[in-house]
Structure 1
């Protein structure tokens, strides 16, 4: 599967009593599709996957696939730090009809690099669905090596990596290594750092899985499309229009500022589940200022 364009790492909206807000989730799906996104990710980190139970996790995937109804690509977050659980969730995504699955590297237990490869291989062999590996060491304590990612690219069914290590050099090295193996057209690199999407795409990434695209969808889509059309002048203009907001959206742990911004914009979002908490007042003011500058509130 070829991954290209803007994919939104969606929040999971909750009601006041912390149940999944199905109506709100469906509304957000349609809102984002209308803004021109390439695909939507449900039950990922931005969707507070760490604090939803298995039944809720499956419900999020079901709602996503049902409401999208083939209009854009659907990616189900199915990662876990237990390979057996990752297999179970990914098999569920297959049965639900998702187009792809996003699997974060196993967190906390910090498997060795060769063990990471075997983890993803086990999932790919057990579930017939395109897989996006997700490298985010700030969350997991594990940073996949370039060589590890290239080995993943050789496994049938693993079609992309979401790279959130924060290094442009690393993405350059990944793309160069993929090219050396003749895999650059078969395996996609997606930006996992919203503020680095422009430079990462300049060195080989083909799109972004973005949390901030919940908020400033139009500009993110326009920037990514501009890069794909080799209009870097316009892309740079859009990058600088968004950079202050993107920084504000990560001033505290994601998705705290994103959900706060959506509530301020009148989009379905609702409260956070513990252990996440509301923003500090001084950071909230920074976020409000950025939203006003971006003409979003």
Structure 2
């Protein structure tokens, strides 16, 4: 499966009792589709998957597939630090009709590089759904090496990587290594760092899985589409237009600022589940200024 364009790492909205706001989630889905994005990710890490129980996790994926109804690609967050649990969530997502699954590297365990290949290979072998590996070492303690990405690309069913190491050099190395193996057209690299989307795509990436697109999906989609159409003049303009708001959205741990921004914009988001909590006042003021400067509030 080819992954290209703008995918939104959706938040999970909660009501005042911190239960899933199902109607709010459906509303956000329709809002983002209207913004022109290409795909939506439900129950990923931006969706506070770490504090969803299994029933809630599955429910978010069910709602996503049901409400999208084929209008854009649906990607289910199904990663876990237990391979057996990742298999179970990925099988469920395939059964309910998700188009793909996004699997973060097992966190805390710090599996060896050959263990990562076994992990993703096991999920791919047992689940009939395209898989995106998610590399975010700042959150998991594990970094997928360039050579490991190439081996993952050789596994039937592992079709892309969301790369959030923060290194454009690494993306360059991945793309070159894939090219040497003739895999660059069959395996996609998606930016996992919103502010680096332009440079990552310039060296071989095909799109982004974006948290900031929850509030600014239209401009992110316009920028990504401009790059895909080789209109770098317009892409540069949009990159610099969005830079300050993107930085403000990561001033504290994701998804705290983006949910805060959504609440300020009147979009369904609600509170956080512990251990996350409200922003510090000085950071909230920075976020508010960035939102005002971007004409979002």
Partners of 2:243 and 2:45 lie apart in 1 by: 21
Which residue of 1 is the match for residue 209 of structure 2? Answer: 209
> SS in structure 1 opposite 2:74?
strand
- Per the TM alignment, residue 124 of structure 1 is displaced from its structure 2 partner at its CA by 0.2
Which residue of 2 is the match for residue 176 of structure 1? Answer: 176
Unaligned 5+ segments in structure 2 are: none
> SS in structure 1 opposite 2:142?
coil
Partners of 1:220 and 1:103 lie apart in 2 by: 23
Partners of 1:20 and 1:215 lie apart in 2 by: 19
1:79 aligns with 2:76: no
Which residue of 2 is the match for residue 227 of structure 1? Answer: 227
Deviation per residue, 1:205-240 (Å, 9 max, x gap)? 000000000011111000000000000010000000
Partners of 1:112 and 1:72 lie apart in 2 by: 35
Which residue of 2 is the match for residue 46 of structure 1? Answer: 46
> SS in structure 2 opposite 1:182?
coil
Which residue of 2 is the match for residue 14 of structure 1? Answer: 14
- TM-score by length of structure 2 reads 1.00
Partners of 2:194 and 2:252 lie apart in 1 by: 15
Which residue of 2 is the match for residue 132 of structure 1? Answer: 132
1:57 aligns with 2:57: yes
Partners of 2:71 and 2:62 lie apart in 1 by: 15
Q: Map 1:198-277 onto structure 2 (within 5 A).
A: 198-277=198-277
> SS in structure 1 opposite 2:14?
coil
Partners of 1:155 and 1:109 lie apart in 2 by: 22
Partners of 1:155 and 1:218 lie apart in 2 by: 34
- TM-score by length of structure 1 reads 1.00
Partners of 1:208 and 1:237 lie apart in 2 by: 18
Deviation per residue, 1:26-45 (Å, 9 max, x gap)? 00000000111000000001
Deviation per residue, 1:153-183 (Å, 9 max, x gap)? 0000000000000000000000001000000
Moved over 2 A (4+): none
Partners of 1:252 and 1:150 lie apart in 2 by: 33
Unaligned 5+ segments in structure 1 are: none
- Per the TM alignment, residue 139 of structure 1 is displaced from its structure 2 partner at its CA by 0.4
Partners of 1:295 and 1:94 lie apart in 2 by: 39
1:279 aligns with 2:274: no
Structural RMSD (CA): 0.3
Q: Map 1:156-195 onto structure 2 (within 5 A).
A: 156-195=156-195
Partners of 1:117 and 1:293 lie apart in 2 by: 45
Partners of 2:275 and 2:156 lie apart in 1 by: 37
Which residue of 1 is the match for residue 93 of structure 2? Answer: 93
Deviation per residue, 1:116-155 (Å, 9 max, x gap)? 0000000000000000000000000000100000000000
Partners of 1:44 and 1:102 lie apart in 2 by: 7
Which residue of 1 is the match for residue 115 of structure 2? Answer: 115
